[in-house]
Chain A
Amino acid sequence: MSQTHPIQWVRGQHTRVPYAVYQNQDVLEQEQKRVYEGPTWNYLCLEAEIPEPGSYRTTFVGRAPIVVARDTDGEIYAFENRCSHRGALICLEKAGTAKDFQCVYHAWTYDLQGSLKGVAFEAGLNGAGGMPPSFCKEDHSPRKLRIATFCGLVFGSFSDEVDGIEDYLGPEICARIERVLHKPVEVIGRFTQALPNNWKLYFENVKDSYHASLLHLFFTTFRLNRLSQRGAVIVSESGGHHVSYSMVDAPQAEAGKQYQEQGLRSDQEGYKLADPTLLAGFKEYEDGITLQILSVFPGFVLQQIQNCLAIRQVLPRGVEKTDLNWTYLGYADDTPEQRDVRLKQANLIGPAGFVSMEDGAVGGFVQRGIAAAGEDQAVIEMGGDSTSSSPSRVTEASVRGFWKLYRRLMDI
């Protein structure tokens, strides 16, 4: 038990999570050091978003502001967006192109790799003032991140010890990313969804294959994700990453009966779309998988729901505040018709999404529900205590897997 946050965990198993872990400011600060700046790879942006030398974007690793830029050598670099002088943001824009970056406060200048190159009035004026001769610019660059790219995704890490990206992801996660990002993509929209809850509640929701058919009526009614469909949950060896996928079979009368017998709210009959083409996509993956939700610890999600492709970046903004950054994708070689299908199916996702609407809200329901939970704990026992892959999606194995890696990094 760490002394910095005396939250009681049940030792050696992952079926209980103390609610305090979603409520505690000390935990958030430890997470910045141990999770986000620990031996993890954090999603920064797409290579396609910084295509040219000088292209840059700003983002975050946890709560640390980051600049990610492509230098004139064609390589990608990232550094903390914090001036070495007084700590002001170096770059204020979301994205753009630049030859270098200049802090607005006192005009200290950084190159595209984040190295300090210029200090205004370094030699003083008319022989007076200026920095002492002992000041060495090379010793005063912002913290730089290691960069790894995989399938057009750019990841950054503050850690020198983190595994290479492919080892970090593991072969099964790599294969499932490659499956979707096997050719160049284009951004077709970006939205930030402000979640009223701790970041972990959202990331757990992504990994929770148990809730999908129960919370989301839209899915089940249109047979997008019945638990009785063929599919599985893959949990990486570390526990931190997961894939949940399903493929639609011919309507299964038997499976439908199982739901009806349980009388679940999520299987109301008679709900029809006036425009059924919402779900009439086109087949673009040979394996027949119509839904694949993939997460990479600590805050990356790659989503394929039929032809609707998106990246979600989960970023803490406070104990009870999270930004969910959506990047909606198409393939660069989409026909106009294919692109329209993606735009249409994007109605499933985001804050107004027929499916994602509830995911954005349940975290807040938990956050408010646990206001007086004290030392009580959540029960995460569906499918036992395993944190391994499962042919059944009626399991919380991938949620437990998250806690397995989280607790290892947090040393709790």
Chain B
Amino acid sequence: MDTVSLREKIAAFQAAYIRCIDRNELENWPDFFLPQCQYTVTTADNHRAGLAAGLIWASNRAMLQDRISALRHANIYERHSYRHIVGLPFIVDSQAQTASSETPFMVARIMHDGETSLYCTGIYHDVYNTSANTLRLKSRIVVCDSSRIDTLMAIPL
């Protein structure tokens, strides 16, 4: 494992992350994060302007679990799935215990009636804890390129 570069580790992490979401294994999605973490979905405009609010804003892993239980048990929405395509991670910074990266993504959404559309493009701004063998996210800020968001954002990005 020691010979595996940080870039490869992050790429493998991203592959596992999108596989989890796209296979509808959402109960496992919070495990990609540390218990104390930040997960925000926002837009490039807000991110640039330093506006803190998110479409989704979670300041710990329990809130991510709540997202999933709300999707499973509370919210009403039409059945659909995502297909994430992630680009190559760019390592912004790497320290002894942490690393930060930016990874571009595109998401197609497949509605239950088969309608498929380009749902969202953007960048994952990530901070990882790299001290353990398995990477975990300290922070993932999902910055959507467009400020116009489709009416339904149920499944996380």
Contact = CB atoms under 8 A, between A and B. Distances in A.
Interface residues of B, number: 35
A323 interface: yes
Interface in B21-78: 41-43, 45-46, 51-60, 62-63, 65-66, 69-70, 73-78
B100 to A, nearest CB: 22
Contacts of A343: 52-54, 57, 59
Interface string A166-198: 000000000000000000000111111111100
Given A217-B76, A218-B70, A271-B73, A357 B52 contact: no
A350 B53 CA distance: 11
Nearest to B157: A352
B147 interface: yes
A25 interface: no
B151 A196 contact: yes
A261 interface: no
A313 B35 CA distance: 37
Interface residues of A, number: 40
Nearest to B41: A352
Contacts of B43: 190-191
B153 interface: yes
Interface string A296-333: 00000000000000000000000000011000100000
A97 to B, nearest CB: 14
Contact of A323 (B45, B55, B148): B148
B76 A215 contact: yes
A145 interface: no
A75 interface: no
A361 interface: yes
Given A190-B46, A274-B65, A274-B66, A361 B151 contact: yes
B154 A274 contact: no
Contacts of B51: 187-190, 328
Interface in A346-361: 346-347, 350-352, 354, 357-358, 360-361
B88 interface: no
B53 A346 contact: yes
B149 A347 contact: no
A347 B76 contact: no
B36 to A, nearest CB: 12
5 contacts: A194-B150, A217-B74, A275-B63, A352-B153, A357-B76
Given A193-B149, A339-B52, A346-B53, 12 more contacts: A94-B45, A188-B52, A194-B148, A194-B149, A273-B66, A273-B69, A343-B53, A347-B57, A354-B75, A361-B76, A361-B152, A364-B151
